[in-house]
Structure 1
Amino acid sequence: MEEQKSKINIQWFPGHMTKAKRQMEEHLKLVDMVIELRDARIPNASKNPLIEQLTKQKPRLILLTKRDKAQPEATRRWVEHLQNEQVKVLALDLLKDPLEKRITSAAKELMKDKLERMKRRGIRPRAIRAMVVGIPNVGKSTLINSLAHRRAAVTGDRPGVTKALQWVKIGKELELLDTPGVLWPKFEDAKVGMLLAVSGAIRDDILPLEEIAYWAMDWLQEQYPQVVRERYGVELQENPYDTLLAIAEKRGYKNGTAIDEKRLIIAFLREIRDGKLAAITWELPDED
């Protein structure tokens, strides 16, 4: 494991994402609005500029998912920061919240003017059609399945599960076009790449996990030192690498007498992603 701050620049743009971007462009004319999912722990880093560029002419409902894993006050600030006339924002726990009622209500509010125009013209309003977009592993398939009350989409706690577009009818008032998770070809800000890696939006098998774990511990020691102490029962070391080694010693992550770094890193990142440390928000709206 490297004992210095990582300056890696993570890149990932597999072929199916190029295809997904093209399909999204082709299908946008079929929908009334866009439902964009972002991770409530990293609302800025999980914003895909490609999606923003493609969908800027459409009314948008932003869903901050995994709110149960984010710091509540920070989430409240993000909701306030992101909302405007064209954009509504909901913070959701996709496994516990009443999704259909809240999302349908928000969609009808966003489309209120169009629905009223249709009524004035004597046209019976049809179901609102919305394209569901977002980065990998942000909860799109979980959302679709919860709303459809069936296994309409394959789910998995790993990026890149959904590979094709599909329509899903939600009651009488909403039709959703599910899309694959799409990342963008270059992260201009290295921190964005790190946050996406820490959150699980990028496949682990292409990542330098040691450097990501080091970066995450360095950040946690600065921002949430007491959380680290309480979770792992170790004293923080000046070098985050040494803190990670102390955790390995405490938990017995060893191969013989040597530290089992792979086991340590996988366990550490998994606990962050599962929200086992605490409800943590990794970026705030007033940060540069």
Structure 2
Amino acid sequence: MSLRDVKRVIARADVVVEVVDARDPWATRSPEIERYAVRLGKPLLVVVNKSDLVPRDVLEKWRKVLEKHFPVVFISATKRMGTRMLWRSLRRVAPRKPRGKPVVAAVVGIPNVGKSTIINYLKGSHSVGTSPIPGFTKSITRLRAAGWLRVIDTPGVVPRMSQEELALRGALRPESLDDPVPAAKKLLELIMCKKPGLLKELYDVEAEDPVVFLENLARRRGLLGKGGVPLVEEAARIVLRDWQTGKNTFYLEPEDYGLSA
């Protein structure tokens, strides 16, 4: 799925729903998509998913930051938390359409933010109302979500950035990385600085240096090569995988980006 295709979808939509990850909302935004939606005059709703993984006071900080740009709703699609507010927010931001004409919402976001879970919730029992959109590949479909709403489902858009940054945003699986260690080191540095006790809690491993931590984790998990050398690459993939799947509940706050509420 190219960015050009997503822009074409946005051009056909009445409202854009951008899904971001509550653990790092700022980095999982899609600024280019946001700018394009604004340029076309399309209302945009930011849906902060996985909100159950972040304390409420931190979510409130993010609300104040994000609402300076767009309307925001916090949900956990897997736990059905905030989903009623999602429907209300969609109603509020969507333009009025002539009777009998549904609002078309384009749901966008980078991979692994939980976009598909939100789409599955929205379409609910109406999942049978699926049809391809003329002019697009089969990977883009229009789904009936309610009598007044149709959802355009698009695959996640991968931002143009390094493999390391993509992995930290959850947009690239650890197995796909040529070298997972730099991304894991950066994540570990953040955790060691902000919430060092979390690593001991998760892995029962302690170290003040990211590389030493990966070596110790590899030894603890029995990930050893010839001569008992710890396989730090495999340990790095474990760390990144746990972050991407939510097993590691580390989160970032606005002040980590120099943002004030």
TM-score band, normalised by shorter chain: 0.7 to 0.9
Corresponding residue for 2:235?
Answer: 264
Tell me the alpha carbon deviations over residues 124-158 of structure 1, each in whole angstroms, 9 at most, x when there is no partner.
Answer: 263221111111222222221222226959xxxxx
Residue number among 152, 161, 184 corresponding to 2:159 in the alignment:
184
Asked if 1:36 corresponds to 2:7, the answer is: no
The 1:255/1:225 distance shift into structure 2, 3 A limit, reads same
Please point out which of 213, 218, 223 is paired with 1:248.
Answer: 218
Alignment of 1:276-287 (within 5 A): 276-277=247-248, 279-284=249-254, 287=257
Deviation at 1:286, TM superposition (A): 6.5
Contact 1:144 1:152 in 2 (8 A): no
Q: Does residue 27 of structure 2 align to residue 52 of structure 1?
A: no
- Which residue identity is paired with 2:182? E
Matched, 1:68 2:52: yes
CA contact (8 A) 2:75 2:86 kept: no
| Corresponding residue to 1:144 among 119, 126, 135 | 119
Structure 1 segment 1-288 matched on structure 2, within 5 A: 16-17=1-2, 21-56=3-38, 57-84=41-68, 87-97=70-80, 101-111=84-94, 114-115=95-96, 123-124=98-99, 126-149=101-124, 164-185=139-160, 187=161, 194-204=164-174, 205-237=176-208, 239-255=209-225, 257-277=228-248, 279-284=249-254, 287-288=257-258
RMSD: 2.8
| Match of residue 132 from structure 2 | none
The alpha-carbon deviation at position 212 of structure 1 amounts to 1.1
Q: What is the distance in 2 between the residues matched to 1:152 and 1:202?
A: 28
> For residues 71 and 196 of structure 1, what CA distance do their matches in structure 2 show?
25
Cα pair 1:163 1:179 within 8 Å, conserved: no
Name the structure, 1 or 2, with higher relative contact order (CA <8 Å, separation 6+): 1
The answer to whether the Cα contact below 8 Å between 1:67 and 1:92 also exists between their aligned partners in 2 is yes
Shift of 1:267: 1.8
- Give 3-state SS (helix, strand or coil) of 1:259's partner: coil
Cα distance between partner residues in 1 of 2:256 and 2:234: 36
Contact persistence 1:61–1:88 (CA under 8 A): yes
- Cα distance, 1:100 vs structure 2: 5.6
What CA distance in whole angstroms lies between the structure 1 residues aligned with 2:178 and 2:27? Answer: 17
Residue 209 of structure 1 aligns with an amino acid whose one-letter code is: P
Does the 8 Å CA contact 1:131/1:178 hold for their aligned counterparts?
Answer: yes
Residues 228-249 of structure 1 show CA distances to partners (whole Å, capped at 9, x for unaligned) of 1222223323x22112222222
Once residues 250 and 46 of structure 1 are traced to their aligned partners in structure 2, the CA distance between those partners, rounded to angstroms, is 32
Matches of 1:98 and 1:127 in 2, distance apart? 25
Task: Please name the residue that 2:134 is paired with.
Answer: none
> What letter matches 1:202 in structure 2?
L
The C-alpha deviation readout for 1:98-123, integer Å capped at 9, x for no partner, is 66633221111113xx43xx6xxxx4
Which residue identity lines up with residue 34 of structure 1 in the other structure? V
Change (3 A) 1:171 1:201: same
Aligned length: 246
Q: Residue 81 of structure 1 contacts residue 285 of structure 1 at CA under 8 Å; is this kept in 2?
A: no
Q: Relative to 1, partners in 2 of residues 1:25 and 1:241: Cα closer, same or farther, differing over 3 Å?
A: closer
Q: Which ranges of 4 or more aligned residues in structure 1 deviate by more than 6 Å? A: none
